[in-house]
Amino acid sequence: MSNVTDLKKPTTPTTDAGTPGIPVKPVKPAKPGRARDVGIDRRPGFLTYGLLIALFLGGAYPLWWSFVAGSSDSSVLADTWPPLLPGGRFWDNVASVLDTVPFWQALANSIIVSGVITISVVFFSTLAGYSFAKLRFKGREGLMVFVIATLAVPTQLGIIPLFMLMKEFGWTGTLGAIIVPTLVTAFGVFFMRQYLVDVIPDELIEAARVDGASMFGTFWHVGLPAARPAMAILGLFTFMTAWTDYLWPLLVSPQNPTLQVALSQLQSAKYVDYTIVLAGAVMATIPLLILFVLAGKQLVSGIMAGAVKG
């Protein structure tokens, strides 16, 4: 179930409370003998693996084809059957990309923007989520309902006044203009609250307070360590969201682009040489492919735990 509360380590025995006759048993390691009896855990056949391979190819082929085309000269685009192996011009095309757009600067910009947004969103969301989950104060319920309600507001539609605001501040063309509007998100607050509400026992906080820790000290020594797993997931998805954002950076900072904006500028020429553009697309995808190799498992479990799209 894609509910954030499922993030907690699964309580091993899942029982169906409404069925008295059936004995309690763990969900994951089902007793092989019994399960096989009713045929639920049978290993699937070739058809399944065939489908899985087809899915894998369908997901990977467009990327591979981009690499093949991006490493060839443009004559290859006219071939009726697309070649399957890369040509030898990848570095030439990379050089053309580097000549056309400020790739390295854009890469650095993207790293700074996504990094700052991630740190800020994770920290402030954890702080607010902790407060909503574990501290008692007047108006808590009402304010939380407000946070949840803001989740459904398509804030992207407020770009016109936001743009005017950035212009007023003289921030257009700076990374600040890209960063500031996403420093904390309603989703982050909601996500952290859902996680923290059950994961920290109230007694632990009271004990820390009795021992003379300040509120912030309690948060720092009790709240933060407990929140770490959820912070990692929130951070991962916040980073992805910030990295892939296009509309807002394009609007406020086309002259000092992020990687996505620079990439899109590659095909803004009147005549588009797709081998070069595709080489650029491959180059721009490499950082996230690295992230995928390093943290793909966490991405999968984050999505399955309900770390919802941003």
Partner 1 sequence: MTTTVSPPETSSTPAAARPAKTSTAKVPFKHRVSRFDSKASPYLYIAPFFVLFGLIGLFPLVYTFVVSLNDWDLLTGPGEWVGFQNYTDELTDPYFWNSLFNTVSIFLLSCIPQLLAAVFIAAVLDQNIRAKTFWRMSVLIPYVVTPVAVAIIFSSAFSEKYGLINNILEALNVDPVMWKTETFPSHVAIATMVNWRWTGYNALILLAAMQSVPRDIHESAALDGAGAFRRFFSITLPSIRPTMIFVIITATIGGLQIFTEPKLFNPSSSVLGGPHREYQTTVLYLWDMAFNRSDFGKASAIAWLLFIIIVAFGLMNFLISRRIASVETRTSKKRTGRKLTEHNAEKAEGARAVVAAAGEKRS
Q: By C-alpha distance, which of 122, 89, 273 is closest to 188?
A: 122
Residue type, 118: T
Q: What are phi and psi of 300, to 5 degrees?
A: -60, -50
Which residue, chain included where needed, has tokens 């096989």?
36
Instruction: Determine the Cα–Cα distance for residues 293 and 223; give it in Å rounded to an integer.
Output: 30
- Whole-Å CA distances, 164 to 103, 129, 160, 172, 246: 28, 31, 6, 10, 18
Instruction: Determine the Cα–Cα distance for residues 218 and 209; give it in Å rounded to an integer.
Output: 7
Nearer to partner 1 by Cβ, of 214 and 232: the residue is 214
Within 24-43, which residues bind partner 1 (CB under 8 A)? 27, 30, 34-35, 38-43
Minimum CB separation of residue 49 from partner 1 in Å reads: 8
Nearer to partner 1 by Cβ, of 81 and 228: the residue is 81
> Diameter of the chain by CA atoms?
76
Minimum CB separation of residue 156 from partner 1 in Å reads: 6
Contact (Cβ atoms closer than 8 angstroms) between residue 178 and residue 246: no
Within 56-85, which residues bind partner 1 (CB under 8 A)? 56, 58-60, 62-63, 65-66, 69, 77-82
Binding residues with partner 1: total (CB under 8 A): 124
Q: How many CA atoms lie within 13 A of 59 on its CB side?
A: 6
Within 253-292, which residues bind partner 1 (CB under 8 A)? 260, 263-264, 266-270, 272, 274, 277-278, 280-281, 284-285, 288-289, 291-292
Minimum CB separation of residue 310 from partner 1 in Å reads: 5
Region near partner 1 per CB under 8 A, out of 90-98, 101-109, 154-162, 169-177: 154-162
Within 124-143, which residues bind partner 1 (CB under 8 A)? 124-125, 127-128, 130-132, 135-137, 140, 143
Beta bridge partners of 25: 14
Within 158-217, which residues bind partner 1 (CB under 8 A)? 158-165, 180-181, 183-187, 189-190, 209, 214-216
7, 147, 177, 179: residue in contact with partner 1 (rule CB under 8 A): 147
Contact (Cβ atoms closer than 8 angstroms) between residue 128 and residue 184: yes
Residue 219 touching partner 1 (CB under 8 A): yes
